[in-house]
Amino acid sequence: MANSKGSQEDTPLMRQLRQDTQLRRKLENATFEAPAETRIISVANQKGGVGKTSTAVNVAAALAQGGLHVLLIDADPQGNASTALGVEHDPDIASLYDVLVDDKPLHEILVPSEQFETLQCAPATIDLSGAEIELVPMVARESRMKNAIRAYIEHREQAGEPRLDYIFIDCPPSLGLLTINSLVAAREVLMPIQAEYYALEGIAMLWKNIELIQQHLNSDLRVSTILLTMYDGRTRLASQVAEDVREHFPEQTLQTLIPRSVRISEAPSYGETVITYDPGSTGALAYRAAAHEISTRS
């Protein structure tokens, strides 16, 4: 009987419940300190399906929930980040396309989040897919997003608005001009990595391209953060991948792991982040913990 009770207490479900309880208690007392200056972070991975957009929107939402001023720029023509924040992105609205191609000021396209008072979104529409071609003949084509962000920061200052604490840019899963613009505009890269067999190869490929950007277009850029996503603690492969990534990139890899979660996947279909869709879920707690960890790193 004692053995039966002991085995019940050590099931994967019970372990997860204990971890969630510990994390919830830790986050109850967590404070989100504002950085010394605006942190501009591109969320990038050239491999699709690794939780890139989920990471961008949920980390941004968690920081805004912590009272910080956050802007999320949706630079992916699919517009999934806009969807997750409940922001309209049909072709008729002003979007990031108008900023990059037609020089529309960034502040004119921003949409405030309905869930978080201090979170704004620069939406993407399908028109953005054409920007890759339309930007080619333009002067300083790689720096158009950087210039737009700089002008917006100045605009906020002149208007007496609070300084932005974080700007997140959700990149497309490819290395075209939109991603290059995002990496030129940023100072940091947040790289979500799925806990799978080819994870290190994906990091190496993206790292090589980031080094090219550093050499030619943005010497201030650095990979500041690696976040393991879609982690399944029941498999030896996931834990081995996490160990390998941490061994190769000890300074960049967060301690927080983002689990495989139905709630994270469901939330965007309701126009929400998992932070508001199911605040007590394992996925929401994990993203809040990741956001807090990011906020404590310079």
Whether 11 is in a domain gets the answer no
Q: What domain range includes position 129?
A: 37-296
Q: How high is the pLDDT of residue 9?
A: 62
Q: How high is the pLDDT of residue 141?
A: 94
d(Cα 120, Cα 123) in Å, to the nearest integer?
9
Q: How high is the pLDDT of residue 20?
A: 65
- For the stretch 162-212, pLDDT in tens is 999 999 999 998 889 999 999 999 999 999 998 887 777 778 888 999 999
Q: How high is the pLDDT of residue 5?
A: 52
Q: How high is the pLDDT of residue 1?
A: 45
86-112 as b/e, with b when 16 or more CB fall inside 10 Å?
bbebeeebbbbbbbbbeebebbebbbe
DSSP label at residue 270: G
d(Cα 261, Cα 229) in Å, to the nearest integer?
10
Structurally, the chain folds into a number of domains equal to 1
> What's the CATH number where 167 sits?
3.40.50.300
Whether 106 is in a domain gets the answer yes
Amino acid at 281: S
Whether 222 is in a domain gets the answer yes
Whether 1 is in a domain gets the answer no
Q: Tokens at residue 217, please?
A: 């277009």
Whether 4 is in a domain gets the answer no
Whether 112 is in a domain gets the answer yes
| CA-based torsion, 177, 179, 183, 186: positive or negative | positive
Give this prediction's pTM. Answer: 0.91
Render each residue's pLDDT in the chain as its tens digit; 298 residues. 445 555 556 666 666 667 666 666 667 767 889 999 999 999 998 877 888 999 999 999 999 999 999 999 999 999 999 999 999 888 889 999 999 999 999 999 999 999 999 999 999 999 999 998 999 999 899 999 999 999 999 999 999 999 999 999 999 988 899 999 999 999 999 999 988 877 777 788 889 999 999 999 999 999 999 999 999 878 888 889 899 999 999 999 999 999 999 999 999 999 999 999 999 999 999 999 999 999 998 6
Q: How high is the pLDDT of residue 47?
A: 79
d(Cα 10, Cα 153) in Å, to the nearest integer?
51
Q: How high is the pLDDT of residue 255?
A: 94
- For the stretch 178-188, pLDDT in tens is 999 999 999 99
Whether 161 is in a domain gets the answer yes
Whether 17 is in a domain gets the answer no
